[in-house]
Amino acid sequence: MKITEISKGITQLSVNIKDILFESLWEMPNGVTINSYVVKGEKTALVDGVCGWDGVPESLFKLLDEIDVDIKSIEYLVLNHLEPDHAGWIEDLLKVHQDFQVICTDKGADIFEAFFDTDVKVHRVKDGDVIDLGDGKVLSFTTIPHVHWPDAMVSYERSSQVLFTCDAFGSFGIFEKSTVDDAYTDAEILSYERDTIRYYSNIIAAFSPFVLKAIEKLENLEIFAIAPGHGLVWKSRAKKILEDYKTYALYQKGSARKEITLIWGSMYGMTAEAVQFVEKRLKASGIKYHIHQVPETSWGEVLTSVWTSSAVILGMPTYEYKMFPPMSAVLEELGKKKVQGRKAFRFGSYGWSGGAQKELEEINDRLKLNWTFIESYEFKGKARDEDLKIIEGRVTELIDML
């Protein structure tokens, strides 16, 4: 738990979440923070909330107490986004305080009514609407639909130029030293980037076209700090996180970094032997590569690597006339996130019949992956020297395409 003053009258209350799957689905090896913000003018607003589990609501109440904010003094609860990782604690809030207004978008109001049984007043805002808190503090609102849910908006405090963005521009990871980027060197920020990309690719990626629209709407704002619902507050790197998110969004269509992700699975070690050979070739080339075995590696980890890779190598055997099933499961997930336009090569063994290739082509078409494949290569049983030579040639061809 952390309390950080972002600007005069604006305080961040941050709680750390570990050892859960985000959305009960995505691994977070380094956890995540959930950030709430108090904005104090003559009136008090709480911008974004926290989840409703594991004592987190109590933590938020304790943090409010520590900064001498009486829960009953909150007049506005600004909900930039209603997903329960930010709104879940409202059940607990309603037990002690009902005399406030919820501020959210039209879509947010529908979701609020679906989640909560309460007579609390809900004020629906649209682009450009403002709420004057007094004492120079004015919040204005801009919708950014589908970053992440359709209800999403950002709130901007005009005098301090702090932009509250909830899921947008967030990241995974827990930051012990400080919750503000200024406390870290560029090298440290770079070392956290995989957590940001993991968050982006696992949670936001499917909505990348909406991310680009949101950035277009926000990029002319004067910004002192971007204050998201997850991860670091961005002050000196506020422009950079906007640019980084734009870059991540553009990776969806292909032409990502000069990196290759090798995803592989093997039933009895035949494909695995060829994978070792391919990895040696990748290592010798000096190109940056990621390697993940399925089903041992989580979707989230694979997706993080593929998101930044311009090329993908798939190594898997045929299994009952189709692809090795964990590979098709991963590809289905990549399809849902619309990871398109990669250069790709597939190799693998078969025992008595092929079939993996047919399913791969079907998935590539159905999910509109639009991946460009170098001719696949299958070998019967164990890969012999002549098979490895052909595989090496095709891996080299793929590297040369980057």
Q: Which residues here bind ligand FEO, judged by CB under 6 A?
A: 81, 83, 85-86, 148-149, 167, 229-230
Residue (85 or 378) nearer to ligand FEO, CB? 85
Measured from the CB of residue 180, what is the shortest distance to ligand FEO in angstroms? 19
Angstrom distance (rounded) from CA 366 to CA 396: 28
Measured from the CB of residue 26, what is the shortest distance to ligand FEO in angstroms? 11
End-to-end distance of the chain based on CA atoms, in angstroms? 44
For the chain, helix, strand, coil in percent to 5 are 40, 25, 35
Measured from the CB of residue 148, what is the shortest distance to ligand FEO in angstroms? 4
Measured from the CB of residue 64, what is the shortest distance to ligand FEO in angstroms? 20
- Do the Cβ atoms of 53 and 78 come closer than 8 Å? no
Angstrom distance (rounded) from CA 162 to CA 139: 10
Sequence-separated (6 or more) residues with CB below 8 Å from residue 184: 177, 178, 192, 232
Residue (228 or 317) nearer to ligand FEO, CB? 228
Angstrom distance (rounded) from CA 106 to CA 83: 15
Sequence-separated (6 or more) residues with CB below 8 Å from residue 175: 33, 192, 231, 232
Residue (150 or 254) nearer to ligand FEO, CB? 150
Residue (169 or 251) nearer to ligand FEO, CB? 169
Residue (50 or 278) nearer to ligand FEO, CB? 50
319-to-105, 134, 265, 355 alpha-carbon distances in Å: 49, 67, 11, 8
Q: Is the peptide bond before 295 cis (omega within 30 degrees of 0)?
A: yes
Measured from the CB of residue 176, what is the shortest distance to ligand FEO in angstroms? 21
- Of residues 3, 4, 28, the one with CA closest to residue 17: 28
Measured from the CB of residue 187, what is the shortest distance to ligand FEO in angstroms? 28
Residue (78 or 327) nearer to ligand FEO, CB? 78
Residue (164 or 350) nearer to ligand FEO, CB? 164
The number of CA neighbours under 13 Å toward the Cβ of 225 is 25
Measured from the CB of residue 398, what is the shortest distance to ligand FEO in angstroms? 36
DSSP tag of 297 = S
The residue of the chain with the least Cβ separation from ligand FEO equals 83
